[in-house]
Amino acid sequence: MNIGIGLLALFVLLRGSDSPLLKSLQQAGNLTHAAGGPEAISFCNVFFFSSLICGFAMVLIDRQGIQSDWPRLQGSDRWLLAWQGFSGFFLGPVAFFLALNRLSVIEQTLLFSLTVPVTALAAHHWLKEHLPRSFPISCGLITVGLVLSSHAGTPSGAGIDGRGVLWALVGVVAFAASGVLARVNSQRG
């Protein structure tokens, strides 16, 4: 089996399990730290690790293409790549981590499900792409899920932590920006 394909499979596995796994590590870290022990989880969490694996896999799969294309990039193209990398591989994951620290996995997952509609709206606005007909229905279902989760299942009606929501929205915008910039980069070649 090609090592690049194996790494991509590992990425899919890690990325699919990062929210519950990361939340478990955060809770274990809080218990250990509260008992006077060391912090069990560092900033380099599962999300960063899975992104790193994806990056390595892509480089391994298309190493020669990258080496031949990089010198041909203009300065503006390199800046677009840098902003795409910053928003999608740094700011988004950091916000994801900080949101999950304040929200339940379900709340965080519902908030991050806004990434798709926000990305679609950004692509519609900046790239003039057409929105699918089912777009309002999808947004409505996501909104209903968010409203229901904020009013149900929280102890004594505490609701969702506002700072967690803010970090989640920062992450959503960062991932949406990364997606739109990826499209711009691919259109430029």
Query: What mean pLDDT is reported for the chain?
Result: 77
Shared domain check, 87 and 64: no
Shared domain check, 127 and 48: no
- Token pair 């679609």: residue: 120
Number of domains the chain is built from = 2
Domain coverage including residue 163: 73-189
Shared domain check, 130 and 107: yes
Shared domain check, 112 and 87: yes
Shared domain check, 53 and 90: no
Q: Mark which of 10, 45, 72 sits at the end of a domain.
A: 72
Tens-place pLDDT, residues 156-187: 556 678 898 899 999 999 999 999 998 998 88
Tens-place pLDDT, residues 92-119: 888 887 887 788 777 777 788 888 889 9
